Amino acid sequence: MNIISISHKKAGLEERSRFAFSDEDKKEFRRQLFEIFPEIRECVILSTCNRCEIFWNGDDENVKEVEKFLCRYKNVPHSHAIGYLGIYTGSRAIRHLTRVACGIDSMVLGEDEILRQIKEAYYEAHESGATDYELNTIFQMAIAAAKEIKTSTGLSTTPVSIGTLVANMVSSLISEGYGNKVMILGITGKIGNITAKNIVAKGGVIVTGTTRKHNAEGLLPSYPQIKMAEFHDRYELMRDMDIIISSTESPHYTVTADEYIKTVGNDRKRIFIDLAVPPDIDSSIEELDNCRLVTIDYFKQLSEHNNNLKAEKALDARKKADMHADEIEKELRLHEIITKLPEIREMISANGIDKLVYGLRKKADKEQVEQIADWLLGNLI
């Protein structure tokens, strides 16, 4: 198998966009590819926002010509694209696919989306009749390998984004007995928006978001769990809240201890989570009974710790991906032998087994002879 890869590692968004493929575009590209290169009979095209990869069967003799054809097809000067095209052939190609499938080559380490995208790319090619034994075997085994690696290493279960970490904390707090009513000050901002979506995705939460403009810009309209309110009503609304999150760009505190005591009182336990820099929430809040304050520094430290964990898991995933790639290669090589069995039987029948065995003297080194001998003699007992 061979691969031409245009990915986020070398190509910018503009370059990647020029190599994007729709499903119809994939079909037309393959039609022309098979017509120009009759020796190529299989082709899978993976096209995402972060990468475009062309997979095809065969040896590496036509790689340069396929590379030039791809550039012509996309109207990109080959001299320009050569600086960011990645080329993988044979064993390196199979290893590359297994690593990509389990998320260790992604912009977000260990992300799950790429495996779904690889499945869809493979199924699209398969349903179009553009795969046969070689790519069927490679993609099916690589997809199965990625699932096993993600499960065994836990690579995808170690969150590093602030939004995910906050959502996990909210979920834990609710499990510990806090109520499920969450207020997010600055919900239409980038961090507030992402945090809200992560919290809602956990389920069982009612979110009230405040905005100075009384709109939900940036939020998807399909979140019935999110109610929008005016920012100036925040203290009155806070009386009914269990967890208060603040992430604004305000130069002033969004919550002060004095106003909290004056307007809300302190009759129940509440958690305050401050994700802003500079801080949104008056640190004196933590000195009040029933109040606990968690700042952005906690999540940054947790994120760094999780990043280190992810790096260790990614190393383990890489080793396992390469082991699975070796298994794919073994499967392909054994298939070659199986398809040649009638000819092998005919040769042995005509010349006897002696010629095959003694031929090892010329074709194999000492270690290989020992391995073959051990296997043969072990299976005769």
Binding residue per annotation — 177? no
Q: State yes or no: pLDDT of 220 exceeds 70.
A: no
- The pLDDT, as a whole number, for residue 380 is 64
Binding residue per annotation — 48? yes
Tell me, yes or no, whether 344 and 295 share the same domain. no
Domain-located, residue 132: yes
Domain-located, residue 194: yes
Q: Structural domain tally of the chain?
A: 3
14: nearest Cα among 110, 80, 64, 69: 80
Q: Which of 157, 180, 197 corresponds to the end of one domain?
A: 157
Burial degree of 100 (CB within 10 A; 0-12, 13-18, 19+): buried
Domain-located, residue 334: no
Confidence band for 213, pLDDT divided at 50, 70 and 90: low
pLDDT (mean) for 120-139? 97
By residue range, what is the domain housing residue 354?
A: 340-380
Q: Which of 280, 300, 320 corresponds to the end of one domain?
A: 300
Question: Which residues are catalytically annotated?
Answer: 49
Binding residue per annotation — 190? yes
Confidence band for 148, pLDDT divided at 50, 70 and 90: very high
pLDDT (mean) for 208-214? 77
Q: CA-based angle 233:237:239, to the nearest 5? A: 135
Q: State yes or no: pLDDT of 205 exceeds 60.
A: yes
pLDDT (mean) for 171-198? 90
Instruction: Indicate the pairing of strand 291-295 with strand 270-274.
Output: parallel
Burial degree of 310 (CB within 10 A; 0-12, 13-18, 19+): buried
Q: State yes or no: pLDDT of 352 exceeds 90.
A: no
Binding residue per annotation — 265? no
Domain-located, residue 32: yes
Q: What is the 3-state secondary structure (H, E, C) of 114-141?
A: HHHHHHHHHHHHHHCCCCCHHHHHHHHH
Binding residue per annotation — 83? no
Q: State yes or no: pLDDT of 316 exceeds 80.
A: yes
Confidence band for 381, pLDDT divided at 50, 70 and 90: low
Q: What is the pLDDT of residues 35-90, one digit of tens each?
A: 999 999 999 999 988 899 999 998 788 999 999 999 999 999 999 999 999 999 99
Percent of the chain topping pLDDT 90? 60
Domain-located, residue 354: yes
Q: State yes or no: pLDDT of 267 exceeds 80.
A: yes
Q: State yes or no: pLDDT of 219 exceeds 70.
A: no
Domain-located, residue 202: yes
Q: What is the pLDDT of residues 221-246, one digit of tens each?
A: 567 889 999 999 999 999 999 999 99
Domain-located, residue 326: no
Q: State yes or no: pLDDT of 216 exceeds 50.
A: no
Tell me, yes or no, whether 243 and 261 share the same domain. yes
Confidence band for 214, pLDDT divided at 50, 70 and 90: very low
Binding residue per annotation — 112? yes
- Tokens 């129940």 belong to 268
Tell me, yes or no, whether 166 and 255 share the same domain. yes
Amino acid at residue number 333 = R
Binding residue per annotation — 191? yes
Other C-beta atoms lying within 10 Å of the C-beta of residue 87: 17
CATH code of the domain containing 32: 3.30.460.30
